Structure formats: C-alpha cells, structure tokens
Chains A and B, each alone.
Chain A
C-alpha cells in the first residue's frame, strides 16, 4: 500500500504519496507553482529555479526548489509570499533576458509578474533547462544529447558535436523545448526585444487567483504538466 503523508501548502492541508515532490503534490491539488523545467515522469533537477517555495521549519523558512523537495510528514510550504514572488520575478527576468525569442518563456515571465526586464538581452537560444537532455536520456534511452563543457561554455550537443547517428529521431527534444514556441509577433529583431504585453489579461487573472491553477492558456505555451496530464 502506498504510504501517505500530510503536509500544508499555503494553509491548506494536503495528502500526498510518500516520495513525490512538493511541486507534483501541489499541482495535483490545483495549486499552481510556476515551473518550466519540470516534465511529468522525468527526474527533476531544479534547473530553472522558477518553482521556488518557502519551506518553514521551526519558525524559520528556507527557500528551495519545490521540484527537488520530497514531501515529508508535517511539512509547511508557502508558495506565494512576498519574498518568493520577488525572487521568482527576478529569476523569470533573467531567463527572459537569456532567451527572449520564446513565447513559452515570455508567458512564463508575465505569469510570474514581470513587467519589464532590467537585464540586457543576451539572445541565446537555450536556457539550459535540460528538458531535451532528460527526455532523450530517461524516456527514450537514446543518450544522443547531453550537456557539454562547463560553466558559461556549457551547452547541449551531440557526442563529439557530430554523432547524429545515435539519435532515434523521436523529435522529443524539439517538442519539449520551450524555445520551439515562437512569440506571437514572430522572432524579435536585435535591439528591439521587449516583453510581450498581449497576455496581460491572463496576468491579472493569475494575480487575482494567486496560488490557484487557472488552467491558463499559458500552460499550453510552456507545456505545463497540468496540460500534459
């Protein structure tokens, strides 16, 4: 029999199976913690840092990623404090600055309350969320893709940069890449990057019903696990 634990997320008591992550437990109860690198069924690595929550223990709160935090008996989690919102907004801004040419990332940022980006746009085409690498390794066991190098030179590539023959041609890396969803207005011109403001109505909705999963249209954009279910 599956063991259940009881924990508190944002004041509501929740029962979850032992071993699941806080993020999964919250999503199962319709509490929306913004997330990007999480794909249901894959190991979580906490790459995007968007799903940060406050884990309150003995009156002290620690900020950690909820996807790598397993549920424990009597846990108290807060997902929408002012501190968390501020940190999350900053993280979302950094992700947008890294890769502005993705509707998924843009929508995600708007959902996190970003109104303007204070960092210079770097126009990379990868935010290193590792969704493609993990899908390739864990789901298809193809091991064609992987992270090469380290530090600021880290990038996703084939072995030796040219071993495409190992690839099983499942296209999952494209389907699961947040960069594959282009912005509504098409790719932005260099120097004219801006945050897309067309989804502000959704932002308002998300702010009014904070903490609740509104089954947002945005979810389709960044392949929210609620939509994948």
Chain B
C-alpha cells in the first residue's frame, strides 16, 4: 500500500528533476518523514542520482529523515518567546518526556522540536502542537497539553487492540 501511495505522489512527475522538492514535500506530508526507501524510489522515478535526493533532503529542515511521533511539539525559541520564558517550556518538555530537542519518545507518541522563530512574536511564547498554534503558553498549560495527548494516545492504542480482537 505504501508503494501505491508513493506511486501516486510520483504520478505525472516522472523524469522531471525540477520536481524534486515538491515530491519530497508530498512524501513528508504523507508519511511524516522521508525514508531511505522512499528516497531511492524518488531517485529512480525522477531520474536523478540518489546522492542528489539525499543532499536536498538533508539540507532542508522541513524534511525529517527519522520517523516522527504522533504528536509533534514545537517550541519557539525566538527572541520574543525566549524573553517571555520559552526555556522554561523546553525544560518542562525535557522533564516530562525525558527527550532532548529533535528526539522522539520511545513509544512514538511525541516528537520535540525547537524552532528559531514562528513569526508570531506578539503571541509568545508559542508552542505548536500538530499544526495548532497555542499562544501565551505556560509550563502548566504545556503539561496539561502533553498529559491530554498522552491519554488520548493510550486510549487509541487500547482501542486499537480491542478493536482488532
């Protein structure tokens, strides 16, 4: 099934090297990350060397080469957010999930990232949780947010097990 999806991404763009970044973006949206397997298929599909695909995928921060968690938590560390205490938020995530920026928890539920500026400095400190922008976050709010996501994740996992059985 995964291959079928990748085929649909490549559809109509084969042998067009200029479409590389668009294709990689679509793959990123589809799977949440760009796998080595996908990169090889893209190289074959667009007719460019594997090195070129890998180089581009490495260069842009928008492409993740590792599988990402279900919940992506991005903390803004720009000047305005920093002044308003974004380092407290980073410490909160670190303490609660036991991961450093750029890492994913072992259960695959959370990925924690830091970003330099989101361009919404008046709303700082900002935390992005799966494309939802949360303004004026405090460590307490962040803790509740993570707890809620964790509960939901566990519920889903449990439901998935019972559903299959």
Contact = CB atoms under 8 A, between A and B. Distances in A.
Contacts, number: 31
How extensive is the interface on chain B, given as a class?
10 to 19
B51 A166 contact: yes
Interface residues of A, number: 14
The B contact surface, by secondary structure, is helix
Interface in A145-172: 145-150, 158-160, 163, 166
Contacts of B54: 146, 148, 159-160
A34 to B, nearest CB: 30
Interface in B43-65: 49-55, 58-59
Contacts of B7: none
Contacts of B36: 160
Nearest to A153: B58
Contact of B50 (A148, A149, A166): A166
B82 to A, nearest CB: 21
21 contacts: A137-B49, A143-B49, A143-B50, A143-B51, A143-B52, A144-B51, A145-B51, A146-B52, A146-B54, A146-B55, A148-B54, A148-B55, A150-B58, A158-B51, A159-B50, A159-B51, A159-B53, A160-B39, A163-B50, A166-B50, A166-B51
Interface of A: 137, 143-150, 158-160, 163, 166
